[in-house]
Homo-oligomer: A and B are copies of this chain.
Amino acid sequence: MELKQQIYQNLRNQGCRITAHKRSLIEMLINNLGRFLSITDLENLIPDSVSMDTSTIYRTVMTLQEHGLIESMIDDNGLTSYMLCHELGVHHHHLICTGCGKTIIIPCQPQLWQDASQQCQFLVTHHKVEIYGLCADCQARGLKS
């Protein structure tokens, strides 16, 4: 099934309605697969033909998150950005390009902190790993970090 249809189906299964606004927003997220988008980014991506209130964007990304369809990331300024989950349910992390926003998936390697946590009997519940830098394209474009 096409990604979009999978998402619609997932939402419908839990009583969500597929409105024109949700379609637009999901469209924008699909067009930016692999790139984190802030609320402001999303606002700017809304096509002129659509009028969507900011509160609707907030509410919609919250819905998508509750359904496990998007992953989020908090930047150094405390602002949250979102993107459609890469593979539903597969835990991973990202290399995040500060030039263009593109991300590259990297596997999670919990063994890297297992020794330390076991040693002091620390019970790990969750973690945050984000690697920032410049992707090959942005380096080629001459962007500096």
Binding site for B on A (CB under 8 A): 74, 76, 78-80, 95, 97-98, 104, 106-107, 109, 111-113, 116-117, 120-136, 139, 145
On chain B, the residues within 8 Å of A106 by CB distance are 112-113, 116
CA distance A121 to B111 in the complex (A): 24
User: B136–A126 contact, CB under 8 A?
Assistant: no
Known A-B contacts A80-B78, A106-B113, A129-B128; A120 and B145 likewise in contact (beta carbons under 8 Å):
no
- New contact pairs (9) apart from A104-B120, A122-B131, A128-B128, CB-CB < 8 Å: A74-B74, A74-B76, A74-B78, A106-B113, A107-B116, A109-B113, A112-B112, A124-B131, A128-B130
